Amino acid sequence: MGLRTWSRSEAEYGRKVLNSGLEGASAGREAFLSGRPLTPILSESVQNAWKPAAIGAGIGVLSRCSRGRRKSVGNILAFGLLGSAVGFCAGFVWQNRHLVASSARGALRNIDKVRDEHWLQKNPIDYA
């Protein structure tokens, strides 16, 4: 098998794996939502993520203030903003962990099917 044929075959296999993963993730999301709209779930997650954001901001500010040397206000605010962003992202991801897990399960299930088919094509089993 030449390099061109091999690379074309591998690119096609990669596209097949990617597409099956995306389809599986979509199916997993739909299975989790079971007909409910996604927007209210995400809105609730954003509302609930503000507490961890506030905690992260406090930790960021305190981490800069705790040192003995004098710090600039801009530096303290920057660390507070960074802590707030990290806290918000962590809270948002935590609120949506079941949705993400369902999507990941669906994606992996489909990817495994494609990988098994690919392996069987490369390694046919002769029962006779």
Number of domains in the chain: 1
The mean pLDDT value for 15-26 works out to 95
In a domain, 111, yes or no: no
- pLDDT, tens digit (0-9, with 9 covering 90-100), for 29-84: 999 999 999 999 999 999 999 999 999 999 998 888 776 667 788 888 999 999 99
Are 109 and 31 within 8 A, CB to CB? no
In a domain, 4, yes or no: no
In a domain, 66, yes or no: yes
In a domain, 72, yes or no: yes
pTM of the model: 0.72
Neighbours of 54 (CB within 10 A): 15
Tell whether the model's pLDDT for residue 6 goes beyond 90: no
Query: Which residue has tokens 């097949």?
Result: 16
Assign 123 a pLDDT band (cuts: 50, 70, 90): confident
pLDDT value for 122: 85
In a domain, 64, yes or no: yes
Which SS3 state, helix, strand or coil, does residue 55 take? helix
Query: What domain range includes position 89?
Result: 38-99
